[in-house]
A and B are shown apart, each in its own frame.
Chain A
């Protein structure tokens, strides 16, 4: 009986998450495009719903809601469904939509998408070989095999995003890094842009006039047909008038067009910097500036800790909650009921981690989607994002285990089987370090290079 009640609660919450994913898709991701293939929207919402359910189960575990055996059952079921989606469905549909875009293969879409999916499975399988992630006692198609590989990909993604985010966050928040941009700079650049456009226009006018004159005078009965005809008509010079060489002008126009594109991008950049300067003078801007200093300290500390972990080959045994409580009890001498507080504090901590990581991921995905999608590739990109999101959330569950006190970890350990959790944490540290250091290098280079281009001497 209680199992039925528990299941109905789970299903209701899953439907809620599904609805949220649907709305997010329609309002945020696809707001400039038309949804023609509803299957894409369904897959995205389903992936989102099942990923959020996993987090919900963690919270239930901490708060001891629902019956323990029904929790275990739902964990297993949820995990199976998510793995099914991430390994079978989404890659297949990605292949299908890629193939649909290519006109040549349109007839045998299904065949080629199956081929693509098999290639994906091969590489996915090969991924597990170089990593010591499993004890070899398991069969081929067990959950542990799939989860271990999904975990590797997901943890890599998490570490990359986290490393870049840790460095980028103080860089964008702090106004110390803002270049000084005046209105005069922007006006000067705009004038150059318009001048370049005028030059392009005058050259194109010459070309149009030349073509018309040639058409009217000489070549009416001699239409350029075929390759040689066109070459002849371009370079034929009519005696008595100077006919400029069209190909030469076309080359000049191409160079000028490239220049105009560069100028456009630089101007947009200057406008963006100017807006940020304005924003930093407001209250909110100052608040974020202060936060930026705080985050930069946090970022440096994290990089330091990651290096220590790798160099001294240690993996944290206790979670921050128990550690914090130990410190307060032992060093600060404050006595309080450990069990009661540890439950609530873990709940709050884990809750914050979950919410910020979901929100951060959705925002990043949206930005990424706007930057690279077009009307042809939007389906493929959304499915790729759904795949990334699913893998990210699964590995979050893997890693969150470390932040929870021992008694709550057991369920995750039971459900996920015998994975080498320590390996994942080590792998996370390595990739985080690599990502953070390369982001610092990259931002440093970008920052140095920009001001020299358009500041007036």
Chain B
């Protein structure tokens, strides 16, 4: 059982957006009955079949690290959180569709997690402003998930979804919008499930298959191929 390979994916977002419900849904295929505040970090594991349906199918463990807290926490809490950001293979950014601030805070969350390796003291050197340049040479796959879709009224849906599309584009990531209390959102075969599966495949590829020959960071061409399964440009 421990013989399967593993990848580590962080689940980040503001307090109260629904990260714990989401992780529970992804790993246990059940709706979380009594969500409560996450103190520190809670982990759960999902089994994922890489390249499902092909002869190269292989099962991996995906560890989902759900880190609690807010971007405005004291610096001592941020330094403590930083210990969870080591050797991360993928990041899921969660925001609440009914709360614009949680979407804006995603920039700060991603900076906090990605800068971890650059600045060992754990202190953020940026002023928190979003800078596309920093995401240009980002190697870690990102996925943006918007929760509480059921609480958005029909009439406002279009405007909210346009806004989140821009957000996902900024991160160069796919986006999924769902309701964590509804099992059918991630039913097998739905477009959400397909996007999720593609994201996990990408994370696994980056971790296990693309290490030979991709030592140049920030190569601009690769950005254009983000979002879908990587074409096999870099296989031997």
Hey, which bits of chain A sit against chain B, CB under 8 A? 31-34, 190, 193-194, 197, 200-202, 204-209, 212, 257, 260-261, 263-265, 267-269, 271-272, 274-275, 370, 374-376
User: What is the CA–CA distance of A208 and B61 in the complex, to the nearest angstrom?
Assistant: 9
**In the bound complex, do residue B39 and residue A376 qualify as a contact, i.e. CB atoms below 8 Å apart?**
no
Residue of A nearest to B1 (CB): A209
**In the bound complex, do residue A31 and residue B72 qualify as a contact, i.e. CB atoms below 8 Å apart?**
yes
Q: Does B179 contact A (CB under 8 A)?
A: no
**In the bound complex, do residue A208 and residue B76 qualify as a contact, i.e. CB atoms below 8 Å apart?**
no
Can you list 15 A-B contacts with CB-CB less than 8 angstroms, sorted by A residue number?
A: A32-B70, A32-B101, A34-B99, A201-B45, A204-B43, A206-B1, A208-B46, A264-B40, A264-B41, A269-B76, A272-B74, A275-B76, A374-B15, A375-B96, A376-B16
Q: Which of B193-236 contact A (CB under 8 A)?
A: none
Which A residues lie within 8 Å of B182 (CB)? Answer: none
Give the 4 A-B residue pairs with the shortest CB-CB distance, closest first: A264-B40, A271-B76, A272-B76, A375-B16
Using known A-B contacts A201-B63, A370-B72, determine if residue A268 contacts B37 with beta carbons closer than 8 Å.
Answer: no
Q: Which of B43-79 contact A (CB under 8 A)?
A: 43-47, 61, 63, 70-72, 74-77, 79
Selected contact of B37 from candidates A190, A197, A202, A374, CB within 8 Å:
A374
User: What is the CA–CA distance of A31 and B105 in the complex, to the nearest angstrom?
Assistant: 11
**In the bound complex, do residue A33 and residue B99 qualify as a contact, i.e. CB atoms below 8 Å apart?**
yes
Which B residues lie within 8 Å of A197 (CB)? Answer: 41, 43, 84
Which B residues lie within 8 Å of A201 (CB)? Answer: 43, 45, 63
Using known A-B contacts A204-B44, A208-B46, A261-B39, determine if residue A375 contacts B83 with beta carbons closer than 8 Å.
Answer: no
User: What is the CA–CA distance of A374 and B37 in the complex, to the nearest angstrom?
Assistant: 9
User: What is the CA–CA distance of A76 and B4 in the complex, to the nearest angstrom?
Assistant: 77
Q: Quick one: which of B27, B61, B77, B83 has the most chain A CB within 10 A?
A: B83
**In the bound complex, do residue B47 and residue A208 qualify as a contact, i.e. CB atoms below 8 Å apart?**
yes
Which A residues lie within 8 Å of B4 (CB)? Answer: 205
User: What is the CA–CA distance of A91 and B14 in the complex, to the nearest angstrom?
Assistant: 30
User: What is the CA–CA distance of A204 and B61 in the complex, to the nearest angstrom?
Assistant: 10
**In the bound complex, do residue B76 and residue A34 qualify as a contact, i.e. CB atoms below 8 Å apart?**
no
Which A residues lie within 8 Å of B40 (CB)? Answer: 193, 260-261, 263-265
Nearest CB on A from B67, distance (A) = 10
Which A residues lie within 8 Å of B99 (CB)? Answer: 33-34, 375
Nearest CB on B from A271, distance (A) = 4
Selected contact of B16 from candidates A205, A212, A267, A374, CB within 8 Å:
A374
Hey, which bits of chain B sit against chain A, CB under 8 A? 1-2, 4, 14-16, 27, 37, 39-47, 61, 63, 70-72, 74-77, 79-80, 83-84, 96, 99-101, 105
User: What is the CA–CA distance of A152 and B14 in the complex, to the nearest angstrom?
Assistant: 39
Nearest CB on B from A135, distance (A) = 50
Which B residues lie within 8 Å of A194 (CB)? Answer: 83
**In the bound complex, do residue B1 and residue A264 qualify as a contact, i.e. CB atoms below 8 Å apart?**
no
**In the bound complex, do residue A205 and residue B45 qualify as a contact, i.e. CB atoms below 8 Å apart?**
yes
User: What is the CA–CA distance of A49 and B72 in the complex, to the nearest angstrom?
Assistant: 28
Nearest CB on B from A217, distance (A) = 15
Nearest CB on B from A127, distance (A) = 33
Which B residues lie within 8 Å of A267 (CB)? Answer: 80, 83
**In the bound complex, do residue B79 and residue A271 qualify as a contact, i.e. CB atoms below 8 Å apart?**
yes
User: What is the CA–CA distance of A376 and B1 in the complex, to the nearest angstrom?
Assistant: 41
User: What is the CA–CA distance of A257 and B83 in the complex, to the nearest angstrom?
Assistant: 17
**In the bound complex, do residue B83 and residue A190 qualify as a contact, i.e. CB atoms below 8 Å apart?**
yes
Which A residues lie within 8 Å of B45 (CB)? Answer: 201, 204-205, 207-208
User: What is the CA–CA distance of A364 and B185 in the complex, to the nearest angstrom?
Assistant: 43
**In the bound complex, do residue A202 and residue B2 qualify as a contact, i.e. CB atoms below 8 Å apart?**
yes
Which B residues lie within 8 Å of A275 (CB)? Answer: 75-76
Using known A-B contacts A205-B2, A208-B27, determine if residue A32 contacts B79 with beta carbons closer than 8 Å.
Answer: no
**In the bound complex, do residue B76 and residue A209 qualify as a contact, i.e. CB atoms below 8 Å apart?**
no
Residue of B nearest to A33 (CB): B101
Which A residues lie within 8 Å of B74 (CB)? Answer: 268, 272
Which A residues lie within 8 Å of B43 (CB)? Answer: 197, 200-201, 204
Residue of B nearest to A257 (CB): B42
Nearest CB on B from A179, distance (A) = 14
Selected contact of B14 from candidates A32, A205, A208, A370, CB within 8 Å:
A32
Residue of B nearest to A191 (CB): B83
Which B residues lie within 8 Å of A274 (CB)? Answer: 76
Nearest CB on B from A279, distance (A) = 11
Additional 14 contacts, C-beta under 8 A, given A190-B83, A197-B84, A261-B39: A32-B14, A32-B70, A32-B105, A33-B101, A197-B43, A200-B43, A204-B44, A208-B47, A260-B41, A264-B39, A268-B79, A271-B79, A275-B75, A375-B16
Residue of B nearest to A203 (CB): B45
User: What is the CA–CA distance of A260 and B38 in the complex, to the nearest angstrom?
Assistant: 11
Residue of B nearest to A370 (CB): B72
Using known A-B contacts A33-B101, A212-B47, determine if residue A264 contacts B16 with beta carbons closer than 8 Å.
Answer: no
Nearest CB on A from B96, distance (A) = 8
Residue of B nearest to A269 (CB): B76
Which B residues lie within 8 Å of A202 (CB)? Answer: 2
Using known A-B contacts A32-B70, A206-B1, A376-B16, determine if residue A268 contacts B76 with beta carbons closer than 8 Å.
Answer: yes
User: What is the CA–CA distance of A86 and B206 in the complex, to the nearest angstrom?
Assistant: 60
User: What is the CA–CA distance of A96 and B191 in the complex, to the nearest angstrom?
Assistant: 41
Q: Quick one: which of B42, B45, B63, B84 has the most chain A CB within 10 A?
A: B45
Q: Quick one: which of A207, A375, A376 has the most chain B CB within 10 A?
A: A375
Nearest CB on B from A247, distance (A) = 14
User: What is the CA–CA distance of A265 and B80 in the complex, to the nearest angstrom?
Assistant: 9
**In the bound complex, do residue B101 and residue A34 qualify as a contact, i.e. CB atoms below 8 Å apart?**
yes
Nearest CB on A from B6, distance (A) = 8
Nearest CB on B from A137, distance (A) = 52
